[in-house]
Structure 1
């Protein structure tokens, strides 16, 4: 008797080719339901409708069709158990050897603009996950295909194994099947949790995008998982070696920083170990890059460069003048790509949607993880700077306010304690990750040197004492921006007034640990 295959798919990609091969090459009989049966019949393929096979009609508008003992008995029967085989015979049930199922497009539905709760609920598949789980459970005897990308490898498996599948192949398919239902249920849970304002649990599910050579250090294993078809998994690697763990961590830090700057003003950022060493705006992209590089040329060597505009030929020439690990931009002109090819080892990535980042961040701790909303507090003039408070007698000039905004945006992406010194849209000194704010300020001011004359200073946290204000003013700083919130804010404000400099409080803190 021919083997039996059950086909029930929402996504019909590759379905007809698979079905034709099953019938014409491997002597399968097909049973199918709903739209899948219609598609097979329209293609001239022999198929038995599930309702005809089970003797039970589809009901509730198609909500119930495959939930029947003749279907699940045929899937779950263990072929090496005499009692199971006897039950099949007694109930006129044929064993099902292959199940091809993919699920209602819940994720795509809720991602679409304007999708309602009703729309989402109707795209929660019930029969599909049940078929997938039953088939995966009984993978010792049944093959489950839950994605069109598996069809070719399945047919290859049949052609090289005399029309059969190996236990290893079925096990791999079962693993992928359970991974798919896990991701599906996670998407539904997350959507309904947000819709019903319930956050009792959180699940993180990803698919392997790449097995990395190693992690932060050679003795650490690492894997890159993607949770959705967005972000870095959609980036186009134009050239260079495959990405490493550290590359990806640095690139994400660079993306977050450059996302602060709209494309109307050319901006370049150079980072090392997730900290910016040079950020600048300019009249052109090459002007911005050269200013960013000059801000700290020593640290820029071997750095990660992020640009907020497509790479043109001029900036491409400048980028090839020194060793860089990675370059990321929203685009790359053909002439620029040819120039960059001279440095074939430099990784060049194109990520058109640089501004689109995760809504939440996750950090693993022993026995669990921490989940928080991303730090997306706006720092632009409309929603950010307009709400800052001038707390000194001396108000900022328009040029100082522009520099303070620029420095504040950069400071947000520097490891705490963070201090940024800037002028004319260029960072002059960056103090990162010190155990006290005075230490960070000292590093930033020493790096700025004489360039600090007339510059501004941004701090990601409040000044607990007035020492930073006095030291920075002595170095030439003319204006400060900081969150405020210290019990001794008054001391810092008083010192600023005594020294004739400007201070603004944001009432928003940007710690980055």
Structure 2
């Protein structure tokens, strides 16, 4: 029988050249392939990426080493500013094994979020290029715990990226879970010994994370390749919302009447909007997320319709909340408890209690901010959040029916606030 597991362990040869050049107009951008000499099952192997998105897909990682491109007034990031593409063996404190494409793109996706959250300890746990949980706190261990508890199911096998040095408390929590990658600017004494219990965990020390604010305004050349071999070039997205002062009032003129929210957002709600808009930079579109007190509550990503993704984010919030209650009360995931109940090994009342409390608490959604990466074309998406007690809604604005969404907030009991970001945050 074919060893199916072997395909995930095998380091693929790749035939990509050691150097690549891209000519854009009269500018030549030069890239160098990144390779590492790492121990792989007891053998030192010099290789770049283990494989691409799937075993069987050859892949290579390239770092920009020469050439600077400017498009009008936009100067794109140049050489010498490497983060993920500049990883060397010294930064791979524990390689575990050669990384695959998604390991590194998950780290990169987290950095795309965290570069907007540098003022406080923050953690983003990524899974398949979407965040499962993102959180702020006064210390890095609490930030990790909050991000993990936001979705303890999806965090399994994910990449945890922290914007402060890992302390022993955070390391202990991470060592209890199967993670693929941990990346941080540094590790306090004793933390690495704890993390090293997980032999296949890739532990990355990336000093540049401590200076992520330097990448906040940086833009890069984004290349989308097409099935016919063609490509689309674009400048990368940019988040202009630095503080609540950058948000816009929600207003819409319809039939000669100016529609505005009855209630203005509180300082805490505005802080959640700024946080949520940073998280949205790393969520696949269409997306709607719910955040509260600097932590994600429900993340809906990559759907075809906005009202649908608003509902999915609510459903996920309920599922994650129930799992959190089960984990905290019984040290089990909800499905594990359900299996024990089905076998008659645990009383059914335990499940009923979790379900009742989740329903009573409405999954922690009351008082949360609802963030949409594009405007709501109809009020139905907004109504989904309002039905769960959302107290503030934020979206780019600009829809023909913005007035309906504003009135939906005004008709809520109690009325909800609304603000515009003035910018769409699509990520495909």
User: Is TM > 0.5 for Structure 1 vs Structure 2?
Assistant: yes
Deviation of the 1:201 alpha carbon: 5.5
Q: Quote the Cα distance in structure 2 between the aligned partners of 1:503 and 1:202.
A: 45
Question: What are the ranges of 5 or more consecutive residues in structure 1 without an aligned counterpart?
Answer: 1-174, 190-198
* Structure 2 SS opposite 1:283: coil
Match of 2:196 among 320, 323, 341: 341
Greater relative contact order (CA < 8 Å, ≥ 6 in sequence): 2
* Structure 1 SS opposite 2:399: coil
TM-score, reference length from structure 1: 0.59
Provide the aligned length of Structure 1 versus Structure 2. Answer: 319
Match of 1:446 among 315, 331, 342: 315
Q: Is the 8 A contact 1:268 1:279 kept in 2?
A: yes
Match of 2:58 among 216, 221, 235: 221
Match of 1:388 in 2: 248
CA RMSD of aligned residues (A): 2.0
Q: Quote the Cα distance in structure 2 between the aligned partners of 1:442 and 1:296.
A: 17
* Structure 2 SS opposite 1:279: strand
Match of 2:69 in 1: none
Match of 1:368 among 224, 230, 244: 230
Asked whether 1:459 is paired with 2:372, we answer yes
Asked whether 1:304 is paired with 2:156, we answer no
Asked whether 1:329 is paired with 2:180, we answer no
Equivalence map 1:47-126=2 (5 Å): none
Deviation of the 1:378 alpha carbon: 2.5
Match of 1:209 in 2: 34
After superposition, the Cα gap between the structure-2 partners of 1:201 and 1:416, relative to the gap in structure 1 and judged at 3 Å, is farther
Asked whether 1:231 is paired with 2:92, we answer no
Q: Quote the Cα distance in structure 1 between the aligned partners of 2:129 and 2:162.
A: 15
Q: Is the 8 A contact 2:241 2:421 kept in 1?
A: no
After superposition, the Cα gap between the structure-2 partners of 1:390 and 1:485, relative to the gap in structure 1 and judged at 3 Å, is closer
Question: What are the ranges of 5 or more consecutive residues in structure 2 without an aligned counterpart?
Answer: 1-16, 36-47, 66-79, 252-260, 319-361
* Structure 2 SS opposite 1:324: coil
Equivalence map 1:77-476=2 (5 Å): 200=25, 203-210=28-35, 211-228=48-65, 229=80, 230-235=82-87, 236-239=91-94, 240-262=96-118, 264-354=119-209, 355=212, 356=215, 359-365=220-226, 366-381=228-243, 385-391=245-251, 392-449=261-318, 450=362, 451-476=364-389
Deviation of the 1:404 alpha carbon: 1.3
Q: Is the 8 A contact 2:50 2:98 kept in 1?
A: no
* Structure 1 SS opposite 2:132: strand
Match of 1:38 in 2: none
* Structure 1 SS opposite 2:107: helix
Q: Is the 8 A contact 1:417 1:435 kept in 2?
A: yes
Larger deviation: 233-242 or 449-458? 233-242
Q: Quote the Cα distance in structure 2 between the aligned partners of 1:352 and 1:463.
A: 40
Q: Quote the Cα distance in structure 2 between the aligned partners of 1:241 and 1:328.
A: 15
Match of 1:495 in 2: 408
* Structure 1 SS opposite 2:153: helix
Q: Quote the Cα distance in structure 2 between the aligned partners of 1:434 and 1:255.
A: 23
Deviation of the 1:367 alpha carbon: 3.8
Q: Is the 8 A contact 1:234 1:351 kept in 2?
A: no
Q: Quote the Cα distance in structure 2 between the aligned partners of 1:498 and 1:428.
A: 24
Q: Quote the Cα distance in structure 1 between the aligned partners of 2:31 and 2:25.
A: 20
Q: Quote the Cα distance in structure 2 between the aligned partners of 1:270 and 1:212.
A: 21
Superimposed CA distance per residue, residues 369-399 of structure 1 (whole angstroms, 9 cap, x where no aligned partner): 2222221232211xx6434224412100111
Q: Quote the Cα distance in structure 2 between the aligned partners of 1:446 and 1:428.
A: 11
Q: Quote the Cα distance in structure 2 between the aligned partners of 1:341 and 1:256.
A: 27
Match of 2:256 in 1: none
TM-score, reference length from structure 2: 0.71
Q: Quote the Cα distance in structure 2 between the aligned partners of 1:385 and 1:292.
A: 26
Q: Is the 8 A contact 1:385 1:405 kept in 2?
A: no
Deviation of the 1:358 alpha carbon: 5.3
